[in-house]
Structure 1
Amino acid sequence: MTVTSPARPGTGDVWTVDDLQDLPEDGQDYEIFDGSLLVSPHADVRHGAIANRLRRLLDRQAPAGLLVGQDVGVSAKRSSYFVPEVFVAREEALERGGPALAPADVLLVVEVVSPGNAGRDLVLKRHEYGVAGIARYWLVEPRKETLTVLENVDGRYREAAVLSTADVCRADQPFPLVLPVAEIF
């Protein structure tokens, strides 16, 4: 279940990335959309396994200067902050530190779609990542066992491919890669 809180309790102020450091380590995932706090339980084991497999597959092929990572947030704007399951970013961006990656440093974000948060991944994040200018967005759907590849064109994503476990994802961006989709699942 997802709970949305429009303002910080007792303050009436909107949530910002800086407020996240004060939240407890309580088994919940926290993100911010347009100043509202989005709270979700941690993903299940299969969800985590898929994200980890994909991260490892990408990491094996990533060239020097690019980092494939997890558990780092992307600040779409000061009042929005999302944590993709997997991302590819310029390594120097992570060296600079800060509470979140800037969209200009992120070459790819990947979300593993959860049944309880499908709308967030398929609609909200797709829109926000697109407007922020992130070049590529991949959606991994465990129930369908598909990988949807989206490319940013003028701030909106267009579907470049929907791949099943019988397919191999071949791409030049964010770096040259060959990825058998079946190995994700």
Structure 2
Amino acid sequence: MTSPARPSGREPWTVDDLQDLPEDGQDYEIFDGSLLVSPHADVFHGAVANRLRRLLDRQAPSGLLVGQDIGVSAKRSSYFVPDLFVAREDALGRGGPALAPADVLLVVEVVSPGNAGRDLVLKRHEYGVAGIPRYWLVEPRKQTLTVLEHVGTGYRESQVISAPEVYRTDGPFPLVLPVADIF
């Protein structure tokens, strides 16, 4: 797989450079000025993300949005597109190429076997440094939901919930989530 050429006149990639990339079936993210390219997720991955989105949507209060396909920019040189997020709805009216971490209450990644390191290590670190309060890792092969909570500049694992258990929480909003319904 060939990567697009580096932007002319600049060394690092920025969020603004993404608008010039082709619609070619690849997902583009940026880490510390380096372009990350990966194929779109498969059907099962998408189904898991969509099931979880529906479950969250049903319980989300007014003023919060459960979304997909919008990036989060931890800094100008890093940009990630989580599988799902919960953000303050008024943040979407501000426009721009990405959500600011201060407006994001939760990011969710559905872990893919071929890309697990990016979700388990890289994004965990970057979302933590950015101060996003909650990070969930959904692992379809294990049928688990791992809940991480922000502490200092990183995350601590607070719970691992397996199907058929039910996860109950007050953050990012009061929620009752039957984990088996995700898979």
Report the TM-score, using the length of structure 1 for normalisation: 0.95
Partner of 2:153: 155
Partner of 2:68: 70
> Does the C-alpha gap of structure 1 residues 135 and 81 become closer, same or farther in structure 2, counting only changes over 3 Å?
same
Give how far 1:9 is off.
5.3
Kindly, what percent of the aligned residue pairs are identical? 83
Specify the SS of the correspondent of 1:55. Answer: helix
| Contact kept in structure 2, 1:4 and 1:36, CA below 8 Å | no
In structure 1, runs of 5+ residues without a counterpart are none
Amino acid at match of 2:33: G
Give how far 1:10 is off.
5.0
| Contact kept in structure 2, 1:50 and 1:184, CA below 8 Å | yes
Partner of 2:26: 28
Partner of 1:128: 126
1:44-63 to 2 correspondence within 5 Å?
44-63=42-61
| Contact kept in structure 2, 1:31 and 1:83, CA below 8 Å | yes
Partner of 2:167: 169
In structure 2, runs of 5+ residues without a counterpart are none
Question: Of 108, 111, 132, which residue of structure 2 is paired with 1:110?
Answer: 108
Task: Give the Cα–Cα distance (whole angstroms) in 2 for the partners of residues 55 and 144 of structure 1.
Answer: 19
Amino acid at match of 1:164: S
Amino acid at match of 1:48: G
Specify the SS of the correspondent of 1:88. Answer: strand
1:69-125 alpha-carbon deviations (Å, 9 max, x no partner): 000000011100000000000000011111000000000000000111100000000
Task: Give the Cα–Cα distance (whole angstroms) in 2 for the partners of residues 4 and 65 of structure 1.
Answer: 39
> Does the C-alpha gap of structure 1 residues 183 and 15 become closer, same or farther in structure 2, counting only changes over 3 Å?
same
Partner of 1:181: 179
Task: Give the Cα–Cα distance (whole angstroms) in 2 for the partners of residues 4 and 156 of structure 1.
Answer: 31
Give how far 1:11 is off.
3.9
Specify the SS of the correspondent of 2:37. Answer: strand
Give how far 1:155 is off.
1.4
Q: Does 1:85 align with 2:46?
A: no
Give how far 1:16 is off.
0.3
